[in-house]
Structure 1
C-alpha cells in the first residue's frame, strides 16, 4: 500500500465534503499550531546568525568574527539539543497522525537501555532520530509558510463573504483594477464568488493536512517495518503463484499425460493378446506393457504429490487420513470438532506441511508411530504432528524444516518445534483460517510450543 493511500483516497472521494474529512483535516491543522509555533520560534532564533551573515554578504562584506561564532554555536545547539526535542515531538506527531490516517505508525526506535547515558548514545546513533529532527525543521519552516499562504487566502475569503455588511457607501471597500466596490449592491457578485469558493477551502484544508500527514509518515515511520511488510507480501504472492503453477502442472499431467499413458497401456495389453506366446515380439511387448504399468504408478504418485484429489474434493481431514494410510508408519489422525474448511492457501499449506513432516519422521526419526491432530483455536488452524522417535531435530541440518517454516510464514502462520534428545518430537503449525501474509516465521529450536 502506498504511504499516502488512505488520506489521498479520502480526499479523492466525490462525497469528501459531505464526510468528516474536512473537519478532521481542520482539527489536524489547528492542533499542529501548539507544536509548530514553539519549534518555529526556536528555529528562528537559531537562524538569526545565518540571516545576519546573509545580510552582510548581500552588502558585499564578509561576516565578522562574532557572527561566525554565533553561527557555530547555533549549529552546535541544533545538533546537540535538537534530537532531545525531536524524539518526544515524533512520539506526539505519530499519535496525532491518527486524525488523518487510521493506519498505525509504529515507532522506528528499538527498545533502549533505561540509564540516561546509554539512552542518549543509542538515540543519537539512530537514523530515525535525525529523520525526526528533519521533521521538526519541516514544522518550523514549511508548515508556517504553507499556513501563512492559507491564512491569507482565508482572509480574502472572509472579505468576500462579509463585504456586503461592511460597505458604507463612502470610500472604496474593494479596488480591483478599475473596478471599485462602494455599495452593498456592488459587493453582491463578490459575495456570491465567496460562497462558490467555500468548497475549495474544504479541499484546501484536506490538501494541506494530507501533505503534512505524508511528510510525517515518510519521516517518522518505521522504514524497516514497511520494507519487511512489503517483502512478506511479495513472498505471499510468490507462494500463490507457485501453487497456481503447481495446480496447472497437476491438471496437465492428469488430463494429458496420464490419459495418453493409460491409452498406451491398454493398447499394449490388447496387442499382447493378439501376439502368440512363442512369437519373437511377445517378450519385448510384455516388457513394454509392464513398464507402461509401472510408469502409470509413478505418474499417479507424482500427481498425488503435487495436489491430491482428496484435498480438492473432500477437504483437509480426508486428505490427511489418506496421507496417513499411505505412510509406511502407523499414523493416527485426530480431527477436533468445529474445524471448518479453511481458505485454499491455508489448506494446501497445512497438507504439505503434514506430508513433509511425516516424510521427515520416516527418514530421520527412527519412530514406530506418529500422531496428527487437526484443531481450531479461534481464527487459527492448529496442526500438530508428534512422533515417538529419537528426537533432536535441528533445522540447520537440512531436514526441510527451514523451508517448511518459510512456506508456513508465507501463508501468514508460524511453525513451532519441540524436539529434545531421545524424543518425543512435536511439530506445531498455526495458520490463519483466512490466509493473510505475516512478516516472519517463528522457529524455536527447542522448548514447548
Structure 2
C-alpha cells in the first residue's frame, strides 16, 4: 500500500471541497455492492455445493473463480472516481483469439486469484464497514438537522438517534446547529476510510511489483521504438526532399550537357557514363528511402504498401487483404516490415516458385500470413531476421509464429491486437 495514501485527506481545504462527498458516495456504493455480492456469493456457493453431488455444480464452482474479474473492474473504476487516479488492469492479452485461450490465461494468472480473494474480502468483511461509515457521514447530520422540523410536526417530542428525547424547540435548534457543524468534522475520518479502501484496491487489484516493472520496460521499449520511427521518417523526408531532388537535377544537367557535347567524342562518352551512374545512384537512393519508410504506407495504407513490396520481389507474390479500415501507424509499420522481411527470406533462402500474402482483421486482431512453396526449414534462431522481426512485433503487443517443416511449405503468421483508426480499402 502506498505509504502516503492519507496525505490528500490532510491537505488544507479538504473539508471545504467536494472530496468528502465523493468519499461518502464511494463508501456508500462499495457498501451496497458488497452487500449484493455477499448474497450472490452465498447463493452461488450453496447451489454449486449442492449440485456438485450430481456433477452439475462443478462448472458453477469453477466459474466462481472468475467472479473476481468483473468485481475488480468495477472496483478499479470506483477508485478512479474517488481520486481521479487510474488503476491499471493487471491482466495480459491472450496470445491467441478465442474463449479457450482466454480462459487458460486467466486461470493461470496470479491477478485472477488476487481478485477472487478481494471479492471474498469485499463480500464478507468490508461492506459493513463501508455502509457504517457512509451511513454515519450522511444520515447522522441529516437527522440532527431534521430535529426541529420533526418536533414542530409532532408537537410533543422527538427521539434523536433513538438516544435523546427532545421536547424543547431550543434544544432541537441546538441539535440542528450540531448537524451543521458535524459534516466538516466527519469529513476527515470518512476521507481516511475511503482513501484506505482505495489504496487497498490499488495494491490487490492493480499490477504487482514485477508486473509493474515489466510494464515499465514494455513502455520504455515502445517509447524508444516510437522515437526510432520518428527519426526514420525524418531521415526519409530529408533524403526525399534533399538528396534525391539534387540527384534528379544533377542527372538532368548531365543529360543536357551530353546533348550539347560533340558526338562521338571522349567528352560525350564520359557524360554518358556519368549520366548512367547518376541514374543508378538515384535508383539505389529510392530503394533506400523505400526501405526506411515507404511513402505508400503513409498515404495508402498496409494493403497497398504490401502490394508494392510484392511487386518488387523476384518471386511471384499474390496479395489478398480484407481490411476495411486503417490502423495505428506503429501497427501498420510492424505489419509492413514483417511482410518485407518475410518476402526477403523467401527470395534468399526458400527456393520457392510462388508466395502469398494475406491480411484480415477479426476479433480485435490484425492477422497477416506470408506463405511460400519453398523447401522449408526456416529457423528464427539461425539469423534469418525473424528474431528481430519478432521483437518489432512484440513492441505493439503482437506475436510472430513460424511454421516451416523440412520440405515446406513455410508459413509466417503475425497477430497484432489493435483497433481501427479510419476507413481503408480492401485489396
Question: TM-score of the superposition, structure 1-length normalised?
Answer: 0.59
Question: Which residue in 2 is equivalent to 1:71?
Answer: none
2:306 corresponds, among 320, 340, 353, to 320
Question: Which residue in 2 is equivalent to 1:420?
Answer: 405
Q: Distance in 1 between matches of 2:4 and 2:236?
A: 42
Q: Distance in 2 between matches of 1:3 and 1:331?
A: 60
Q: Distance in 2 between matches of 1:311 and 1:434?
A: 18
**Matches of residues 169-188 of structure 1 in structure 2 within 5 Å?**
185=170, 188=173
- Structure possessing the higher radius of gyration over alpha carbons: 1
Question: Which residue in 2 is equivalent to 1:311?
Answer: 297
Shift of 1:347: 1.8
1:378 corresponds, among 363, 378, 382, to 363
Structure 1 residues 4, 383: closer, same or farther in 2, change over 3 A? farther
Structure 1 residues 256, 362: closer, same or farther in 2, change over 3 A? same
Structure 1 residues 248, 213: closer, same or farther in 2, change over 3 A? same
* Unaligned 5+ runs, structure 1: 34-90, 108-127, 167-182, 437-449
Question: Which residue in 2 is equivalent to 1:387?
Answer: 372
Shift of 1:30: 9.4
**Higher mean C-alpha displacement, 221-230 vs 406-415:** 221-230
SS at match of 1:101: helix
Shift of 1:263: 1.1
Establish whether residue 230 from structure 1 lines up as the match of residue 232 from structure 2: no
Establish whether residue 25 from structure 1 lines up as the match of residue 31 from structure 2: no
SS at match of 2:325: coil
SS at match of 2:392: helix
**Matches of residues 34-433 of structure 1 in structure 2 within 5 Å?**
100-102=75-77, 161=145, 185=170, 188=173, 191-192=176-177, 194-195=179-180, 197-198=182-183, 201=186, 205-218=190-203, 222-223=207-208, 224-277=210-263, 281-336=267-322, 339-433=324-418
Shift of 1:104: 7.5
Q: Distance in 2 between matches of 1:244 and 1:3?
A: 39
Contact 1:380 1:432 in 2 (8 A): yes
Contact 1:383 1:429 in 2 (8 A): yes
Cα deviations by residue, 1:385-428 (Å, 9 ceiling, x for unpaired): 01112212111111111111121121232211111111111111
SS at match of 1:428: strand
Give the RMSD, CA atoms, in angstroms. 4.9
Q: Distance in 2 between matches of 1:421 and 1:195?
A: 83
Q: Distance in 2 between matches of 1:98 and 1:432?
A: 20
Contact 1:24 1:100 in 2 (8 A): no
Structure 1 residues 328, 95: closer, same or farther in 2, change over 3 A? closer
Contact 1:346 1:435 in 2 (8 A): no
Contact 1:391 1:419 in 2 (8 A): yes
Contact 1:250 1:307 in 2 (8 A): yes
Structure 1 residues 403, 200: closer, same or farther in 2, change over 3 A? farther
Cα deviations by residue, 1:107-141 (Å, 9 ceiling, x for unpaired): 9xxxxxxxxxxxxxxxxxxxx99xx9xxx9xxx9x
Contact 1:353 1:404 in 2 (8 A): yes
Structure 1 residues 150, 386: closer, same or farther in 2, change over 3 A? closer
Q: Distance in 1 between matches of 2:419 and 2:145?
A: 55
Shift of 1:433: 4.2
Contact 2:258 2:268 in 1 (8 A): yes
Cα deviations by residue, 1:11-54 (Å, 9 ceiling, x for unpaired): 99x877787x6334246479999xxxxxxxxxxxxxxxxxxxxx
Q: Distance in 1 between matches of 2:231 and 2:180?
A: 59
Q: Distance in 2 between matches of 1:3 and 1:300?
A: 58
Question: TM-score of the superposition, structure 2-length normalised?
Answer: 0.61
Contact 1:3 1:214 in 2 (8 A): no
SS at match of 2:326: coil
Tell me the number of residue pairs that the alignment of Structure 1 and Structure 2 aligns: 332
Question: Which residue in 1 is equivalent to 2:84?
Answer: none
* Unaligned 5+ runs, structure 2: 9-13, 36-65, 78-86, 92-112, 152-167, 422-427
Structure 1 residues 312, 28: closer, same or farther in 2, change over 3 A? closer
Structure 1 residues 238, 435: closer, same or farther in 2, change over 3 A? farther
Contact 1:325 1:331 in 2 (8 A): yes
Cα deviations by residue, 1:308-357 (Å, 9 ceiling, x for unpaired): 23222222222222211110111111224x64333332222211110010
Q: Distance in 2 between matches of 1:380 and 1:201?
A: 50
